[in-house]
Structure 1
Amino acid sequence: MATIFYSSSLSPSLLLLKNQNRVKPICLSTIKTTPNVQKEEIVIIGAGIAGLATSLSLHRLGVKSLVLEQADSLRTGGTSLTLFKNGWRVLDAMGVGDELRQQFLEIEGLVIKAEDGRELRSFKFKDESEGQEVRAVERRILLETLTNKLPLDTVRFSSKLEKIETTETRETLLQLTDGTELLAKIVIGCDGIRSPVAKWMGFSEPRYVGHCAFRGLAVYPGGQPFQPRVNYVYGRGLRAGYVPVTPTKVYWFICFNNPSPGPKITDASVLKNEAQKLVRNWPSEILDLIDKTPDDTISRTPLVDRWLWPTTSPSASLGSVVLVGDAWHPMTPNLGQGACCALEDAVILARKLAGTLESGPTSVENALKSYESERWSRVFPLTIRANFVGSLLQWANPLVCAMRNNVVIPKLVRLGPLLEHTNFECEPLK
C-alpha cells in the first residue's frame, strides 16, 4: 500500500538521546541448565521473511543458524508485498534477486485516481528516481525461495516457544511447548508483530492506528488486463489500490477508517461482501478484482505500528537476544517499507555478528548494540512517516479531500525526492 512519500531525518542530538536514555527491560533471573539440553550457536524464532532472510544472510557469511517455526510448514498464505529498490538490493546481496525477478513483473509507474475514476496524477518510477525498481512479490514464493537456499536442516517446524530464560554463562535457554530445551549463544526474535520475544524483552503491544485493510490476490487464468503500474483510488476516509504481480495475478487492497480493530473474520464470503460494499460505487475493476480473488488469499487486518521513542522504548537487544523486522519495528504499509526494512535488518545484523561467536558474550553484545544503533536511525523515522502518510490519506473531511485531489496531488507532489528512503547500498554477502 505504498503511496505518497515524505522524507525526514533524525538530528544527531536525538540519536544521542536514544543511545543515552534506555529504559531498563524486565529483570531476568539466571538459571542452571539440565544435562540433556541441545546446544546451538544461533537460534532464530520465526520462519517468516525476517527470520529466513536473517538465516540466509548468516549462511552466506558461513555462519550456521537454527530457525524455529511454530507452524507445521511454511506459512505461505496471504497475498503479496511490494519491494522497492532497497529490497531488491538486499535480495541481490543474498543471491536470490535474479531468481525472483524472473517470476514477477517490473512495475513502471503509478497512477492516482479519484473515486469517480478521474485521473489526478501519474508518474514513471525511473523518471522520478534513478535506478528505481518496483515489483510486487508473492509472499509464498519469496518464503520458498529463501528456504530453498538454506541447508535442509535449518528450519525446524512445529517448534513453538514457551519460555525464555538466561543462564549463568550469559547464554539463553529456550523451552518449547513439546518439552525440548535449547541453549543458544544468540537468539534472534523474528516472530512478527505479536512477538513473544519482544514481549519478554519489555515491549508493549503494537498500537492500532485507526484503520483496517482488506487484501487479496486476484487470479485471471487467461491473463490479467492491467498495465504494469500501481493504481490508487482515493475517497473520503477510504482508499483502494491494485498492482499486477504476474501476467495472471493482481494484488489489491482497500483501506478504511474504523474506530476499533473489530472482530477477526475468517469467512471469505463475508470478507468479500464487506469489501465490495465499501467500493460498490467505485471503478468497476476493483469489484472485479474482489470477485476473482480465491478464498485463501483474502484477509481483513487492523493496521498497527510501534514508535521506538528514544527515552521510553526498550532496547532492541537484551544480552544476547535481539529483534529483527516486525518483532521490533512494526510499521503501517503506506510506504511499502515493512518487508524492505526487515530485509535490511537481516543483512546488517548478519554482518555485525559474523566473526563474533568465538570472541565471547561481550563481543556479541557489542555487535548487537551496534546493529541497533545503525538500524534505529533508519526505521524510527520511516515508521513515523508511514503513519503520517496513512493519516493524511485516510482523512474524511470533504474540504480536505477536495484540496488533496484538486491541488496537492495534481500540482504539488513530486515523487522523486520522496523516494529517497529507498536508497540503500548493500554489497554481496560472501
Structure 2
Amino acid sequence: MGVGDELRSQYLEVQGMVIKTENGRVLRSFTFKEEDQTQEVRVVERKALLETLAKQLPVDSISYSSKLSKIEKNENGETLLQLANGTQISSKVVIGCDGVRSSVAKWMGFSEPKYVGYCSFRGLANYPDGQPYESLVNYIYGRGIRAAYIPVSPTKVYWFVCFNSPVPGPKITDPFVLKKQTKELIKNWPLEFRNVIDATPEDTIIRTPVADRWSWPGLSPSASSGGVVLVGDAWHPMTPNIGQGGCCALEDVVVLVQKLAPALNAGPTFIEDALRSYRNERWTRVFSMTVRANVTCAVLHLENPVACAIRDHVLVPKLIRLGPMLEYTNFEFDPLLQISP
C-alpha cells in the first residue's frame, strides 16, 4: 500500500465553511463546490501523516530525539553533523527540515524568525464514541482574536485560537494552565466551540508565539550551499493564516526529490546544480505564500471596532470569494515513481 492509499483511509474531505462572529452571528456559509468546482479541501491529523510517511522508509532509518548540537564541513568537503548524544554523521547532502528554529538554517546564516504580534493555542478534542460535527471548517472572528475548529477524523476535532499580544509572553508548559487560559479567552463565545475545548485532553494543548521570516531576493542567505539545503519551515516559516505551511513543505520535498534523485550518483557539481535548481524554482512560490499569509493576518486580526464592522458586514459576506483565493494552493507534479535512481 502506497502513501496515498494509506492516507485515504485517514483523512476527511471537508465539504464547506461557516464563518461566524464571536457572538454567534453567521457571516457566511457555503460549500467549497459552490465556490469553485475544481477545489477540494482535505484534512488529516499530523500524527497520522508523519506515521504514514515514516512507514515508507527502511526500518531504523529514523533516529528519534536526536538533537543536533554542531554542524561543520570536514576535510573531504562533506558535512559533519554531531548529535547531542555524541553520534557523528558525515553526509554529502544534508536536508535541513528541522522546523521554525532550525539549527541548520542558523548555521547557513539565516536570522531567527520574527514574532508577528500574536500567539496561538492549539489542541485536539477527542470523542471516543464519535465526534458530533459536520465536515465543515468553522471559523469565528472577534476583535484581535479569531478561532476555528474542524473535524480531522471520525473521533477527533482540531481547533486553534489566535489572539493579539504585544509580546510573546513566558513559555507555559503546564497543560492545566494552558486549557484554563484558552477557556478564559473564549468564555463568552458560542457554546459549541467551548464544548470542543472541554472535550480536549489537556496534554494535547500547546501555546505558540507566531513568527515568520521573509526571504528577500539578494538580501537573505541562500537556501542551498555546499551540499546543504533547507526545506519547509526551516527555510520559509510563515504564519498559519492560509493553511499552507505544511503543504508548502510537502511541495518542497516533491521538487527537491525530482531535482536531486538523478544527480546523487553524478558527483558534487551535479548535486549543487540540482539544489540550486530546486532553490530557484521554489523561491518565488514560497516567498509569495509567506507574504500572503502575513497580509491576511492584517485583516483577520483587526481590533478597531469600525474596521471590524467593515470586515464583518462588507468584506467577508459580500466581497471576498474563496474560489479565487484557493487558486494559489494548486500544485501539480509528475508522480515521483517515474524518477530513475
Which TM-score tier does this pair reach, normalised by the shorter chain?
Answer: over 0.9
Matches within 5 A, 1:162-241: 162-241=69-148
Secondary structure, counterpart of 1:252 in structure 2: strand
Aligned twin of 1:351:
258
Matches within 5 A, 1:9-408: 95-408=2-315
- Equivalent residues of 1:187, 1:321 under 8 A apart: yes
* Structure 2 segments unaligned to the other structure (5+ residues): none
CA distance in 1, matches of 2:313, 2:199: 33
User: CA offsets per residue over residues 293-348 of structure 1, 9 Å max, x none?
Assistant: 01221111111111001121100011100000010001111111001000000010
CA distance in 2, matches of 1:118, 1:373: 45
CA distance in 1, matches of 2:85, 2:153: 41
- Equivalent residues of 2:45, 2:153 under 8 A apart: no
How far off its partner does 1:401 sit?
0.3
User: CA offsets per residue over residues 394-413 of structure 1, 9 Å max, x none?
Assistant: 01000000001111111111
* Structure 1 segments unaligned to the other structure (5+ residues): 1-93
CA distance in 2, matches of 1:135, 1:362: 40
Change (3 A) 1:372 1:182: same
1:418 to 315, 318, 325: 325
Letter in structure 2 aligned against 1:407: V
Change (3 A) 1:164 1:230: same
- Equivalent residues of 1:349, 1:368 under 8 A apart: yes
Aligned twin of 1:71:
none
TM-score when normalising by structure 2: 0.96
Letter in structure 2 aligned against 1:289: V
CA distance in 2, matches of 1:249, 1:332: 24
CA distance in 1, matches of 2:42, 2:230: 27
Letter in structure 1 aligned against 2:54: T
CA distance in 2, matches of 1:306, 1:163: 23
Secondary structure, counterpart of 1:359 in structure 2: coil
CA distance in 1, matches of 2:296, 2:329: 16
User: CA offsets per residue over residues 133-164 of structure 1, 9 Å max, x none?
Assistant: 22221111111111111111311234332221
User: CA offsets per residue over residues 66-106 of structure 1, 9 Å max, x none?
Assistant: xxxxxxxxxxxxxxxxxxxxxxxxxxxx9412321212321
- Equivalent residues of 1:114, 1:120 under 8 A apart: yes
How far off its partner does 1:208 sit?
0.5
CA distance in 2, matches of 1:221, 1:118: 30
CA distance in 1, matches of 2:161, 2:27: 19
Where does structure 1 differ by over 4 angstroms across 4 or more consecutive aligned residues?
none
Secondary structure, counterpart of 2:14 in structure 1: coil
CA distance in 1, matches of 2:122, 2:195: 14
CA distance in 2, matches of 1:157, 1:302: 25
Letter in structure 1 aligned against 2:35: E
Secondary structure, counterpart of 1:282 in structure 2: coil
Most deviating of 288-297 and 96-105: 96-105
Secondary structure, counterpart of 1:388 in structure 2: helix
Letter in structure 2 aligned against 1:230: V
User: CA offsets per residue over residues 139-192 of structure 1, 9 Å max, x none?
Assistant: 111111111111113112343322211234322122223333222111110111
- Equivalent residues of 2:118, 2:209 under 8 A apart: yes
CA distance in 2, matches of 1:324, 1:225: 37
- Equivalent residues of 1:112, 1:120 under 8 A apart: yes
Most deviating of 229-238 and 101-110: 101-110
Secondary structure, counterpart of 2:334 in structure 1: coil
CA distance in 1, matches of 2:103, 2:166: 26
- Equivalent residues of 1:170, 1:361 under 8 A apart: no
- Equivalent residues of 1:213, 1:301 under 8 A apart: yes
CA distance in 1, matches of 2:77, 2:218: 26
